[in-house]
Structure 1
């Protein structure tokens, strides 16, 4: 049975500290990328990054070791009024949290690296709490504290596919009767390891990501958070629903460490479409993973040929504006798909001017009106983790 997606949501990114600001930034094809050292002291020299400049409920930039916790707290503050109202109306609701992240909090590892190798010495004392952070810690603690609750929380780690892996698990959890409502919180903060690693393997774009463009040269390492309120059908009022999850599919084909396999991705896309009881011809729009790396983009163009034939439905990538928010990236696409239902618009691929693939009907330059109907969202992760979801309009 389809899972309802509540209109009440949260999003924090380089484009803004709430979802309305983020959506407007996507429609305007904004590209507010940053020099790392301007945002975070002692950030390594690397291409532009996509950093959160305004956390919304925190003044200035938090210490690097606290960045993840502060982001989780800001999400909790945003969602608290919604949860309070929901429980005031229906106190018996079983609510749980799923935190989806590619790597979790990078602060603890960075603190240990600084303590061992930094000429300036430790960036903070190496306490038992820091060491616990290496094992995962309690990443839901700042979120629950801000919510004023003690909800059960589960962590989901599926590399850059984490949002959609979390979405699939959420649907299973609700359909199995284990939860009535799930807060799907997908988040990642900037990681020095990821930034340096992506630079060293040539995966970071020199001037910012331009997905599918012939001149593309990589992605833009970023950070962000989203929170989706997902509920069993009937829990939310009809007016409070902005979309429905009709089909999900997740599979790790382990085909390659970093390069997705078209056949594996296509099988997951087909699986999600079939679970939704639809055919490829029913899909009215696609939010691709679209990182801007040559490996990713050529794969998704090949997937489109397998699934849709000579021409895809209207499609886009949000990473030209948001950068690659890692585990949160698929969550921004899920929110964007719901906004497309509401507005009838799909945002353009920011920065892309000369697309390489003729079989992708990319939205370029300006937002485009698309037909109301099912939307496909994809997310791909290192190690061959492929995921897809089919969203339907609320009615």
Structure 2
């Protein structure tokens, strides 16, 4: 972090995911490995398909309404005065954008008229536009859609905006609600597992998707109570070597950018939340990238996607809040379903919860198209 730059704090945050409502519920699920995926069904080229999917439990209304309720609760929890609320910037990250809402609206339209047109005015910034208006915000308004790193990049750009004095506070949002476009897309790419999510395991065979929403307020001022987490910085980098197969060298480069921006040396990192999707290419590249940065002394690392699902554009923020809540309980969660090390990767994630002894933590998020992002967080007093 540059001399004179303002510190940036996680002021408040909340999540909605397969583990339920709240970062505490998500953390407990990660530590106890207590969630269970549902089964979704669809037809692909006339062939019936069943896949596991981490769905948010309970009857819900339209996705936009769920998101607005979550955002209002987080803003209230941040305890920021009305004048600063209005000046707050909005940084929203999403992979599927408004597709879930479009599918919801289309189903209602078809129920009224079987000849209804499919989608009117598709717009990736739809959710941000509605949130911005409903919350009465007047600060900057950004939608970032960089595949699976969308919410991580939203958090990073918001951090830079607060750190450099462009805004005092920022509302950061990551969303990924259930939609058939994403489900069928990953199935068609042969990247969706039909059984178990096994990141870094020799037998890994694909992603298990899930839905989720996460909202956080980050601020120049620390929270008034509870643990104090600082966003030290991060790095974002587009790997142009291949559209879908990540490069270990470019992942290492992204991590080094994050460490430099945060002013943290590699040997200071106390824990790593890996991206860990469970695909052969991603886990191999991430593992080799970690070894390139940390050598033979890679800090304890894990991935929580086998518990919460791969929430795509939301995962960068959702997993940040869940992982921080795990560490607040003094433990780093294990990687669910990991059993057989892959000798090509050469390192293995935690197979049982481990004590967290403090220090800055690294959070990796990588997406299609080479959209890499890494973040560094630190809890005051640890």
User: If the length of structure 2 is used for normalisation, what is the TM-score?
Assistant: 0.87
- Point out where structure 1 has 5 or more consecutive residues left out of the alignment: 39-43, 55-59
Asked if the contact 1:75/1:227 (under 8 Å) is kept, the reply is yes
Q: CA deviation at 1:211?
A: 0.7
Distance in 1, matches of 2:267 and 2:140, equals 40
Aligned mate of 1:76, from 71, 79, 98? 71
Asked if the contact 1:161/1:386 (under 8 Å) is kept, the reply is yes
What is the match of residue 203 of structure 2?
Answer: 215
Distance in 2, matches of 1:340 and 1:111, equals 34
CA distance 1:91–1:240, shift in 2 (3 Å): farther
1:288 equivalent in alignment to 2:278: no
Distance in 1, matches of 2:114 and 2:169, equals 39
1:248 equivalent in alignment to 2:237: no
Of the structure 1 ranges 264-273 and 136-145, higher mean CA displacement relative to structure 2 is found in 136-145
Q: Secondary structure at the match of 1:46?
A: strand
Distance in 1, matches of 2:238 and 2:182, equals 21
Tell me the matched-pair count: 371
CA distance 1:123–1:392, shift in 2 (3 Å): farther
Distance in 2, matches of 1:27 and 1:246, equals 25
Distance in 1, matches of 2:369 and 2:186, equals 15
Asked if the contact 1:183/1:227 (under 8 Å) is kept, the reply is yes
1:184 equivalent in alignment to 2:172: yes
What is the match of residue 27 of structure 1?
Answer: 31
1:99 equivalent in alignment to 2:92: yes
Alignment RMSD, CA only?
Answer: 2.9
What is the match of residue 288 of structure 2?
Answer: 302
User: If the length of structure 1 is used for normalisation, what is the TM-score?
Assistant: 0.85
CA distance 1:121–1:270, shift in 2 (3 Å): same
1:124-203 correspondence to structure 2 within 5 Å: 125-126=116-117, 130-132=119-121, 134-136=122-124, 138-140=126-128, 142-144=130-132, 147=135, 152-203=140-191
- Point out where structure 2 has 5 or more consecutive residues left out of the alignment: 43-47
Q: Secondary structure at the match of 1:256?
A: coil
Distance in 2, matches of 1:163 and 1:108, equals 18
Distance in 1, matches of 2:307 and 2:276, equals 11
1:39-118 correspondence to structure 2 within 5 Å: 45-54=49-58, 60-62=59-61, 66-67=62-63, 69-83=64-78, 85-87=79-81, 91=84, 94-107=87-100, 110=103
Kindly provide the CA deviation profile for residues 130-189 of structure 1, in whole angstroms up to 9, marking residues without a partner as x: 523x03353135535764656653211111011221122112211232210111111111
Q: Secondary structure at the match of 2:151?
A: helix
